[in-house]
Structure 1
Amino acid sequence: MSTSSSFPEGDAETIARRASSFGGQAAAYAAERPDYPDAALRWALEPVADRTPLRLLDLGAGTGKLTEGLLRYTETVTAVEPDPAMLAELRERLPEVRALEGTAERIPLADGSVDAIMIGQALHWFDLSRALPEMARVLSPGGVLAGLWNIDDHRVPWVRGLKEVSRGKAALKDWNAGSAFDPTADFPRIEQAEFPHAQQRTAESMAATICTHSHVLILPEAERAALRTRILDYLHATPETASGEFDLPIVTLAIRSALARDSSASG
């Protein structure tokens, strides 16, 4: 495994289309995607929790799903997002947050200006050969880089069945956070943890959530509609999900890595 993430599958054109597919569904993304559990946020921030004020960067912030949770820990949160539509949704939802257009490969912040970089559901889209040195640059000495992913808990039989029904042509392979990136001189030690989570859903909102996934967003409209119908048929026929609201079991995978204190990148 190199420092370039192996999470997205497919040819370069398909990966690029998937990475840029979210903006057209920014409102649906904001409405349907789950938040992140406090236990995962506390664990990710533990190495810098005693810093005051705690300066956080939500990198690849999307519509602010993670940003909103970070505001419970500090008022000093900056959100950086490359997609104008996603950024506009974030600014409308969280007008008090400093929100900037930018990428992980070119972060619009000064050297050593944040204590933690938090990345929700986005690290796998970065060009890590460029992004990791850039993240090291903006972190303060001993600052922490953390990635979080909400993954449906496929150990639960009905969730595993839903996964099979909802797989599209560009669906992701099985993946774990431990494969996110290899240690580097700046980030020499990577820790991993997982946390139980859940999101209250109905069959309709569950189908809407799946339709915000990149492998579905890039499908032609007719295929996307057919996939949504298959998902609804499955959920309406499954005892755990057939009637009204249900809890979707989620596992929040988290990694963290403290910046090496002798790193020249943050000097």
Structure 2
Amino acid sequence: MTFTHALTDGERQRHSSSFGAAAGAYAEHRPDYAPEAVRWALAGAPGPRVLDLGAGTGKLTGTLLGPRSGLDVVAVEPDAAMLAELRRGLPSVRAFQGSAETIPLPDGSVDAVVSGNAMHWFDMAVAGPEIARVLAPGGVLAGLWNVFDDGTDWVAGLAEATGPAAIGPRDVPAAWRIETAELHLPRTGADSPFHAPEQAEFPHGHRRTAESLVATLGTKAGVLVMPEQERADLLARARGYLAGHPATAEGEFTLPLLTSVLRVRRRS
């Protein structure tokens, strides 16, 4: 997939709205998030009330609700099919249909807003003030991304075999570090509601087989929007590469990931 800022408005809308058609596969095959990354993201939040914004099928929501978290979590997701999967998998969570640009919560009602692999789809010129509205003074906004650790040779080879639609520049650590802070956070500075951003990364992994990793790649927006034959050809290349590499050819293996985090704090 190309960098989000290289997409036209129409392409961006098409990509961001593609996930509902694959909601079941997304729920089954996308990874959760490193618990250490979630703890870092929320460090210093003034209270336990957390909004998972653009929550999808609840991958980050589930991590937030880990053992002994003590968090009061609410989820907001624009896509009806994705929201249905979240409600099915996490029936005890308060979950509402809404978007980052129109959050269906009162002013100052949460202590932290987090977003898993979704903040790059927000129209931050509109979403930034809206997020500031629902955050309590001193509250935290954090975006989390699971990126493929291409420091592992077979992961780098898979990226080369499949091309940028499946594992694009934003999906690997070096490009993520360079691109995301300025692109995917609200404006910061003296006249902004938010302080300067912080950034961190945490090791993570996802147990996969060759076939289930192909299914994971099939849930990427750049793949979902492809013409059917082009998508089938890309997934066939991925399947062939994984079948031919000794690290991935037989049984289960761990896909090495980093959970990468951007964090800003709302001014008090």
Q: Give the TM-score of the pair, scaled to structure 1.
A: 0.90
> Using the alignment, how far apart are the partners of 2:165 and 2:109 within structure 1?
41
> Number of residues paired by the alignment?
253
Distance 1:171 1:240, change over 3 A: closer
The answer to whether the Cα contact below 8 Å between 2:166 and 2:220 also exists between their aligned partners in 1 is no
1:171, CA displacement in angstroms?
Answer: 6.7
Aligned to 1:27: 24
Deviations 1:220-251 (A, max 9, x none): 11111111111010001111111111111101
> Using the alignment, how far apart are the partners of 1:147 and 1:186 within structure 2?
17
The answer to whether the Cα contact below 8 Å between 1:8 and 1:125 also exists between their aligned partners in 2 is no
Work out which of the residue numbers 38, 41, 44 in structure 2 matches 1:44.
Answer: 41
> Using the alignment, how far apart are the partners of 1:169 and 1:46 within structure 2?
34
> Using the alignment, how far apart are the partners of 1:141 and 1:159 within structure 2?
42
Letter of the 1:191 partner, please give it. E
Q: Secondary structure at the match of 2:169?
A: coil
Aligned to 2:181: 178
What are structure 2's unaligned runs of at least 5 residues?
none
Deviations 1:147-194 (A, max 9, x none): 100000012111011112222569743432433334241112211000
Greater shift, 156-165 or 141-150, is seen at 156-165
> Using the alignment, how far apart are the partners of 2:241 and 2:55 within structure 1?
32
> Using the alignment, how far apart are the partners of 1:166 and 1:47 within structure 2?
40
Letter of the 1:252 partner, please give it. T
> Using the alignment, how far apart are the partners of 1:235 and 1:93 within structure 2?
30
Work out which of the residue numbers 49, 56, 66 in structure 1 matches 2:60.
Answer: 66
User: Identity rate of aligned residues, in percent?
Assistant: 51
> Using the alignment, how far apart are the partners of 1:139 and 1:10 within structure 2?
30
Say what the alpha-carbon RMSD is for the aligned residues: 1.6
> Using the alignment, how far apart are the partners of 1:43 and 1:130 within structure 2?
26
Aligned to 1:214: 221
The answer to whether the Cα contact below 8 Å between 2:161 and 2:238 also exists between their aligned partners in 1 is yes
Distance 1:89 1:257, change over 3 A: same
Work out which of the residue numbers 63, 77, 84 in structure 1 matches 2:80.
Answer: 84
Aligned to 1:167: 163
Aligned to 2:246: 239
Aligned to 1:136: 132
Letter of the 1:238 partner, please give it. H
Q: Give the TM-score of the pair, scaled to structure 2.
A: 0.90
